[in-house]
Amino acid sequence: EAQVTQNPRYLITVTGKKLTVTCSQNMNHEYMSWYRQDPGLGLRQIYYSMNVEVTDKGDVPEGYKVSRKEKRNFPLILESPSPNQTSLYFCASSLVSEETQYFGPGTRLLVL
């Protein structure tokens, strides 16, 4: 089944404790992207990747890192999480950047 998977789905952590949210797709998509969704603000793009080893900043990249060492995986790293990073995070992928994106199920993060 074609899908985008994210882990974990739910996470409660404390300020400053490094964490990684994994994202994987099995559709051989070149383009992958991370978003955060907050009430009243909609989805905001954090980072995206046009292909392996090619990543770029979205609108809200501060406090986040990403890597794209292989085509299928695009992990999101929070080196030192803060409470303002409490949010719902979505990973998405598409064949190329101008095509329909398929979203993972989301990761709900709470930073205390």
Partner 1 sequence: GQNIDQPTEMTATEGAIVQINCTYQTSGFNGLFWYQQHAGEAPTFLSYNVLDGLEEKGRFSSFLSRSKGYSYLLLKELQMKDSASYLCAVAGSWGKFQFGAGTQVVVTP
Q: Does 5 bind partner 1 (CB under 8 A)?
A: no
With 0-12 CB in 10 A as exposed, 13-18 as middle and 19+ as buried, what is 7? Answer: middle
CA dihedral 6, 10, 12, 18 (to 10 degrees): 0
Q: Does 100 bind partner 1 (CB under 8 A)?
A: yes
User: Which residue type occupies 3?
Assistant: Q
Asked whether the CA dihedral 100, 103, 72, 60 is positive or negative, the reply is positive
Q: Does 104 bind partner 1 (CB under 8 A)?
A: yes
Q: Does 50 bind partner 1 (CB under 8 A)?
A: yes
Q: Does 102 bind partner 1 (CB under 8 A)?
A: yes
Contact pattern from residue 11 through residue 40 relative to partner 1, giving x for each residue in contact according to CB under 8 A and a dash for the rest: --------------------x-x-x----x
Given the rule CB under 8 A, which residues bind partner 1?
A: 31, 33, 35, 40-45, 48-50, 56, 58-59, 90, 97-98, 100-106
